[in-house]
Amino acid sequence: MITFLRLLTSKNILYTTFAFMTTYEEVFENNRAWVASKTNKDKDYFEKLARDQKPDFLYIGCSDSRAPANEIMGLEPGEVFVHRNVGNLVVNTDLNVMSVINYAVRNLQVKHIVVCGHYNCGGVKAAMVSEDLGILNPWLRNIRDVFRLHKEELFSITDEEKRYKRLVELNVQEQCINIIKTAAVQQSYNKNKFPIVHGWVFDLSCGLLKDLEIDFVATLKDIQKIYNLSNGSSMYGNEE
């Protein structure tokens, strides 16, 4: 409280504003330094980057600032197509994620699609709270649905932290299934044997990626008992 009151003095407000300005300006300094580091190694770097993109990966991750896609995968710009949202969800009525998947599969022809969740995920944690969270309710309900689908397993875990970590993993697994349900993925796999869908969890406490080793082929086969959209539509069927 005392610190808060101190911040209210005019001098400190100026200082605080200045501190934010410095941070904001630093971003552009960082950007210029980054450009220099790239062009020092390869003077045509940005000319090549501007030409086209041919990423082999589509990464669908959480918006959490601690899980930057390129960085944790050690990939350069141009190597991974990225979509992020709260809780790394693939909701079939979300035009945003569905457009990303469709474009990545049908146009970019990515070889791998990764859903990457992370432990310490605020979205997953919020979905475990018995509380009306307002505008977040419909979005987080997708995670509560994952809980309901796996309630026997999750309720059998007595340690709350372990239960929460398992929900992070099961949420990734279910979002992978949602991707496998799409016509774009099924038709491309039928024709090209790609993309392969993978589920990962990023462990913030050590920086390592954990592969949940989802059996893509077996899951696809199982999913297609109900959600078989692999026959090309008139729009895409003539490509064969």
Instruction: Exactly one of 6, 42, 51, 66 is catalytic; name it.
Output: 66
Give the CA distances from residue 165 to residues 10, 128, 156, 205, in Å, rounded to whole numbers and listed in that order.
Answer: 45, 11, 13, 13
Establish whether 176 is a catalytic residue.
Answer: no
Give the C-alpha separation, 49 to 77, whole Å. 8
Spatial distance between the Cα atoms of 24 and 38, rounded to a whole number of angstroms: 22
Shortest Å, Cβ 32 to Co ion: 31
**CA proximity to 80, closest of 100, 97, 57:** 57
Q: Closest Cα to residue 180, out of 56, 92, 59, 63?
A: 92
What element of type H or E holds 172?
A: helix 160-180
* Least gap, CB of 130 to Co ion (angstroms): 20
Cα-Cα end-to-end distance for the chain: 68
Question: Nearer Cβ to Co ion, position 124 or 180?
Answer: 124
User: Residue 123 or residue 195: which is nearer to Co ion going by CB?
Assistant: 123
Cα separation of 187 and 192, whole Å? 8
x-or-dash string of contact with Co ion, 113-152, rule CB under 5 A: --------x-x-----------------------------
64 catalytic? Reply is yes
Cα 207 to the center of its chain, rounded Å: 16
Of 116, 118, 176, 198, the active-site residue reads 118
**Beta carbon of residue 149, minimum distance to Co ion (angstroms, whole number):** 19
CB of 173 vs Co ion, minimal distance in Å:
16
Q: Measure the CA–CA gap between 8 and 19, rounded to whole angstroms.
A: 15
Cβ 124 to Co ion shortest distance, Å: 7
48-67: contacts with Co ion (CB under 5 A): 62, 64
Is the Cβ of residue 121 or residue 177 nearer to Co ion in the bound state? 121
Q: Which of 83, 116, 121, 198 is catalytic?
A: 121
Size of interface with Co ion, in residues (CB under 5 A): 4
Question: Is 116 among the residues known to form the active site?
Answer: no
- Reply yes or no on whether 144 is catalytic: no
Residues binding Co ion (CB under 5 A):
62, 64, 121, 123
Query: Which residues are catalytically annotated?
Result: 62, 64, 66, 118, 121
